[in-house]
């Protein structure tokens, strides 16, 4: 069965309350369990630092009035686990990049929780919508890896994601979802578990794309954690625990998400018209989702139902974006500058409220 058909079945199962779709044959269970135990003994032998708080105002070079409001939701990838400086987290990188492109200050609020699965999104969305200032202008969600590793039924995962996107869109926020990363890129995972992890990850990513686009959001495929750099340099792109990305890995990820984030607010300089020379196309949403799952950094945006736009936007280096944003809180995000572990840079903004999850 093609990946597009599998993704459509998972999405349909989520919409109509269908059961889980098996991704692994019964005969492979014994081998997979043995490989999983070996991977567990290898992955995570280092200790990844807790994600540093990075909430606050970015792009102070553009003033402090009328800032765009950016929120991050999801798991440890969105939280930035694995780095020690606030400026190295995805939230800080995206906030400073958005400020540079939009030429406006940006306030960042990150409610992502390390270890979270899709069933935690309801709580995270409620935290954001309870803010006195109202919903954010745009939300970035990164979720799915823990659903795969904890064998959450794919139909349940995408149903919960669809509900979260629907609530945010109904509240007036733009939504960009970084779909499930390819867990087959984790270096200590061996065959056949590597192949099965890649298959499950990509099937979930494609199904996530379908339901997000149907709810009016946009997706960017994280794939092999956003770029061939991970396959070529896994020891550089993964952190000390060999599972979470390093600072270089997060920068690569943020570069891929930034164009779609900016485009969702209408501030990206490129037009939305298709460029066939860059293998962009208008496809049925299920086929577009399957194609995106195969190539990291691919954007899928809804068009006329049931069609979707498949785009490969040009990336912008985050160091350039940070320099364009000028000095001030968040402007150093594209470099290695920032605070020590667990400490926000000076002037970054008010500390997190007590109800904000950090793990």
Give the largest Cα separation in the chain, rounded: 61
76 is catalytic: yes
Q: Select which of 76, 96, 118, 201 is catalytic.
A: 76
Q: At what angle do helices 90-102 and 247-264 cross, to 10 degrees?
A: 40
Alpha carbon distance 172, 194 (integer Å): 40
Distance separating alpha carbons of residues 91 and 97, to the nearest angstrom = 10
- For residue 49 the two structure tokens come to 């630092």
Residues 233-271 as b or e (16 or more Cβ within 10 Å = b): ebeebbbeebbbbbbbbbbbbbbbbbbbbbbbbeebeee
Q: Helical H runs in 233-340?
A: 234-237, 247-264, 285-294, 318-325
Which of 118, 120, 244, 264 does the annotation list as catalytic?
A: 244
Q: Rounded to the nearest 10 degrees, how much is the dihedral formed by the CA atoms of 252, 129, 265, 223?
A: 30
CA distance 253 to 247: 10
Question: Is-catalytic flag, 224?
Answer: no
CB 316 within 8 A of CB 22: no
User: 309: which strand partners?
Assistant: 282, 301
Query: What pairing do the DSSP bridges indicate for beta strands 281-284 and 174-178?
Result: unpaired
Give the CA angle between residues 195, 197, 201 to the nearest 5°: 120
Q: Tokens representing 231?
A: 């396959």
User: Known catalytic residue: 147?
Assistant: no
Rounded Cα gap, residues 307 and 28, in angstroms:
37
Which of 119, 241, 312, 335 does the annotation list as catalytic? Answer: 241
> Which residues does the annotation mark as catalytic?
76, 241, 244
């Amino acid at each position: 069965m093609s990946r597009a058909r599998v993704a459509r079945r998972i999405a349909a199962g989520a919409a109509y309350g269908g059961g889980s779709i098996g991704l692994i044959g019964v005969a492979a269970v014994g081998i997979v369990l043995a490989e999983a135990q070996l991977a567990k003994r290898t992955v995570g032998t280092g200790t990844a630092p807790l994600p540093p708080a990075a909430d606050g105002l970015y792009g102070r070079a553009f003033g402090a009035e009328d800032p765009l409001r950016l929120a991050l939701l999801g798991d440890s990838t969105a939280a930035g686990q694995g780095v020690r400086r606030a400026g190295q987290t995805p939230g800080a990188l995206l906030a400073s990049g958005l400020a540079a492109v939009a030429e406006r200050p940006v306030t960042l609020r990150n409610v992502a929780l390390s270890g979270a699965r899709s069933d935690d999104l309801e709580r995270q969305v409620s935290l954001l919508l309870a803010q006195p200032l109202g919903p954010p202008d745009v939300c970035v969600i990164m979720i799915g890896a823990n659903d795969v590793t904890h064998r959450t039924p794919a139909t349940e995962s995408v149903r919960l994601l669809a509900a979260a996107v629907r609530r945010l869109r109904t509240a007036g926020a733009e939504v960009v979802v970084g779909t499930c990363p390819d867990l087959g890129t984790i270096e200590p995972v061996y065959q056949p578990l590597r192949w099965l992890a890649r298959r499950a990850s990509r099937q979930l990513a494609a199904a996530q794309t379908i339901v997000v686009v149907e709810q009016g959001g946009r997706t960017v495929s994280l794939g092999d954690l956003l770029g061939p750099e991970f396959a070529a340099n896994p020891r550089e792109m993964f952190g000390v625990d060999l599972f979470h990305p390093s600072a270089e890995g997060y920068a690569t990820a943020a570069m891929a998400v930034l164009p779609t984030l900016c485009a969702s607010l209408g501030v990206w300089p490129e037009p939305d018209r298709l460029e066939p020379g860059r293998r962009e196309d208008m496809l049925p949403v299920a086929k577009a989702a399957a194609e995106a799952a195969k190539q990291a950094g691919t954007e899928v945006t809804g068009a006329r139902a049931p069609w979707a736009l498949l785009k490969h936007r040009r990336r912008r280096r985050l160091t350039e974006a940070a320099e364009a944003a000028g000095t001030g809180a968040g402007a150093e995000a594209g470099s290695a500058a920032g605070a020590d572990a667990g400490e926000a840079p000076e002037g970054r903004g008010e500390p997190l409220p007590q109800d904000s999850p950090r793990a």
